[in-house]
Amino acid sequence: MSERIVIDLTDNIANVGKTLPFTGEFVLDNDLLAYPNAVLEKVKVNFDVTFLNPNVSVSGNIICYVKGNCDRCLTNLDKVVKLHFEQMFYKDISANDDGYIYSTSMLDATKAVSDEIILSMPSLFLCQDDCKGLCPKCGTNLNEKQCDCDTTHDNPFSVLKNLKF
């Protein structure tokens, strides 16, 4: 496994318009995730790479393997998150100042993949979409059993309900 996602374009340059596959497993920086209790163990990419002379189109999937604790119930879990990836890489920076560029026959896609992970990962790391979390009084995992705690409380803003305008 590598820390950089580098695509060798040598075969692509000789076959303008032909799509060639690129796959690999990588270990990227753990700072990509905003989860306080989880880490990004590895990233697997499955890309189709097309040299369009001079630009390069890359599309496919990013598969993120995340290990940690659920943000609501603290259950320990391993999770696989699949993200779609589609990006154009430009040979010349002046062609597109906002895009990603490459300069040799080696295209470094690490920054583009990292950006996609940062922007596309769910905001919470949950064991399931409808995780009920922990009881705020006794700490019982509400996904496993319901407790008898009274969690109702007076809303300090409920008096505003009676205001007449």
Are residues 2 and 26 in contact, defined by beta-carbon separation less than 8 angstroms? yes
Are residues 28 and 113 in contact, defined by beta-carbon separation less than 8 angstroms? yes
Question: Greater confidence, 114 or 163?
Answer: 114
Residues 6+ apart with CB under 8 A from 58: 7, 22, 47, 48, 49, 50, 85, 86, 87, 88, 89, 107, 109, 112
Residue 21, pLDDT score = 93
Share of the chain above pLDDT 70, in %: 95
Q: What is the pTM of this model?
A: 0.81
Q: Which residues pair with 87 in a beta bridge?
A: 58
Residue boundaries of the structural domains of the chain: 6-131
Q: Which residues pair with 7 in a beta bridge?
A: 107
- Structure tokens, 52: 């369009």
What does residue 28 show for φ and ψ, rounded to 5 degrees? -105, 170
Residue 42: is its pLDDT beyond 70? yes
Instruction: List pLDDT tens digits, range 96-150.
Output: 567 788 888 889 999 999 999 999 999 999 999 999 999 988 899 999 999 888 8
Tell me, what amino acid is at 107?
L
